[in-house]
Chain A
Amino acid sequence: MTAVRFNEVCIMFGPHPAPALAMADEGQSRAEIQSETGHVLGVHDCSLEVAEGEILVLMGLSGSGKSTLLRAVNGLNPVARGSVEVSADGRMVNVTEAKGAALRRLRQNTVAMVFQQFGLLPWRTVRENVGLGLELAGLSASARAAAVDRQLSLVGLSDWAERKVGELSGGMQQRVGLARAFATDAPILLMDEPFSALDPLIRTKLQDELLDLQRDLKRTIIFVSHDLDEAFKIGNRIAIMEGGRIVQVGTPREIFSAPASDYVAEFVANMNPLGVLTARDVMEAGPGEGPRVGAETPVRDLMDRLAAGETALIVEDAGTPIGRVTSESVVARLCD
């Protein structure tokens, strides 16, 4: 089932997008369009389907149009051409044409958002911030309480419920942001670089927590990141953007093994390979003796076992041995 569908979405910032769109159709770059028409190309002809329960990561350099595309899903950015549809109550609803009450209903019930700078209301307590979506939807305080308490315990902030959000650390504030988005029970979550403002240790921790939560909640998540390591860790699929256009969509493995352009290859070259490589990638051909491991075992686990004294590990796929992993084979793969 498709949860979000982008149909040739074009977003152009400026009052009269038509001529600028024509230039974009001819393949002109953002700089050319801007110097000629004064319009800023947000995104151009982006088509993409996000399946229910999937985490799709929008990846790219800063300014590549990730946020712009994401914000079309809840109508924060107007779409100049094309449309975005989301699945609501079992049918696809066109967000681009939704207005007023219909758009607000989508935002209250179907699509929730997490912001890079948290977007919390500093004069409110943690509890009041988490309940914001429900409050805007018109639920009374007593009707909100149960849902809010559940979300608070889910993100481990029950003891902080009555504090003002300003008293919390950045990591905790973003937990509040996550709880606020989860609290509305919206099946679709938009996350715009939610962890980029946090320091690395906290970021890793929150990434793990998000994956844990997602295992139970199974929402559809569109996640924006400029960090390929994060994208590979979080995403079921990754869409890589450059200059307002999607240049490659695929699973982490597909992107890692077959970058579609130099731009993508550059990203891949700069990432930490330990996050993606599995036994299949680091094995060498040939027979051997040793314990058996699955083809999708992460390379980190293999290295742990090799370091612990194993000399060779036999890689098997569906029960048949397909190669062997040794210290040399791992080092050889990491060095090229």
Chain B
Amino acid sequence: MLSWVTECETPEDTEGLGPLGYLTECKIRIGDAAEAGFDWLQANGSAVFDWISDFLDLMIEAILTLLQEPPNTGWIRDVGRGEEVYLYPPDLHSILIIAILTGIAWWLHRGWKVPALVAVGFLFIVNQGYWEETTESLTLVLSACVVCMGLGVPIGIAAAHRPRLYAGMRPVLDLMQTLPTFVYLIPAIVFFGIGMVPGLIATVIFVLPAPIRLTHLGISSTPQSLIEAGQAFGATPRQLLWKVELPYALPQIMTGLNQTIMLSLSMVVIAALVGADGLGVPVVRALNRVDTGLGFESGFIIVVVAIILDRLLRVRTK
């Protein structure tokens, strides 16, 4: 028994050890246990991880293709003499995307300030030559949103309806948010290799508690009087959820979305450490080379993106 739990395996190891000797010599095997767990998962769960990995990869590729120039889209016309005429020059795609984002900003805010900020900010990024990295980081942020909201809202609803479940979940959520990010980068690499997917996984682990907590808060603070009004008029549990609880919780859920986006953006540098493309890559490179200029430049671009997203998302909810 003792030999399983601690590093004192044989009787010789413990011979002549006083109490203090036990304390220092017989190290409890926490690291070994974790490793054994991960080994077991890797050996037995690889099909699941492959499936998750493929799915996330597909989503990332799709978003990336939308944001970057679609490859080989036949926009080039070969006019007789072998001359290539671009009907849709590659650089134009960034302008198109910026125009669409500006349009979204206008639609959300109905004023000129935020759209102007969005347009100027992104054009500045294009000018600095970071457009490609920005699209990659936006892809990571968007994918994290899809996964975190897709998981977080249902989990938050379930937790709000089952107080015991939430009580059990809380330590896990705390752990996900307080565990140093680097710690779960290692298993992320073990299970998902190097690239965008492990970056996304690390981001999701860090961010997911936010939408869960906020959805839980919104749903569980629905006033009893509104729930009873629904019940008194014959609502099914599902109708109560869709027509009373979710509309009531909507402002909180939107706050959760907002936080998801901002927290995901804060993970781009960490994600770069496991090989995810994006704005984190030049930051990491600058760190390795002690390149102050590059570091400042790329860091500043991240700040610009953060400001743009923050203003874009600050929609007044009544």
* A residues neighboring B (CB under 8 Å): 74, 76, 103-108, 112-113, 115, 117, 119-121, 123-124, 132-133, 135-137, 180, 184, 190
Contacts and interface: CB of A to CB of B under 8 A. Distances in A.
A222 B229 CA distance: 17
Interface string B222-263: 000110111111111001000110011010000000000000
Contact of A104 (B229, B234, B243): B234
Given A121-B244, A121-B247, A123-B247, A133 B233 contact: yes
Contact of B231 (A107, A120, A124, A180): A107
B234 A119 contact: no
Contact of A136 (B226, B235, B248): B235
Given A123-B247, A136-B239, A136-B243, A117 B225 contact: yes
A119 B229 contact: yes
A92 B231 CA distance: 22
Interface size class of B (residues with CB under 8 A): 10 to 19
A133 B234 CA distance: 7
Nearest to B244: A121
Q: Is the interface of A mostly helix, strand, loop or mixed?
A: mixed
A120 B247 CA distance: 13
B247 A136 contact: no
A107 B239 CA distance: 14
Contacts of A120: 229
Contact of A108 (B228, B229, B233, B244): B233
B225 A119 contact: yes
B219 to A, nearest CB: 15
Contacts of A123: 247-248, 250
Contact of B234 (A108, A115, A180): A108
A117 B225 CA distance: 8
Nearest to B250: A123
A106 B231 CA distance: 11
A76 B231 contact: yes
A76 B228 contact: yes
Contacts of B239: 136
A119 B236 contact: no
A45 to B, nearest CB: 25
Nearest to A112: B233
Given A121-B244, A132-B233, 10 more contacts: A76-B232, A103-B234, A106-B234, A113-B229, A113-B232, A115-B228, A120-B229, A121-B226, A136-B233, A136-B234
25 contacts: A74-B232, A76-B228, A76-B232, A103-B234, A104-B234, A107-B231, A108-B233, A112-B232, A112-B233, A113-B229, A113-B233, A115-B225, A117-B225, A119-B228, A119-B232, A120-B229, A121-B243, A123-B248, A124-B247, A132-B233, A136-B235, A136-B236, A136-B243, A137-B234, A190-B232
Nearest to A129: B229
B231 A119 contact: no
Contact of A105 (B226, B234, B235): B234
A284 B231 CA distance: 54
Contacts of B233: 107-108, 112-113, 132-133, 136, 180, 184
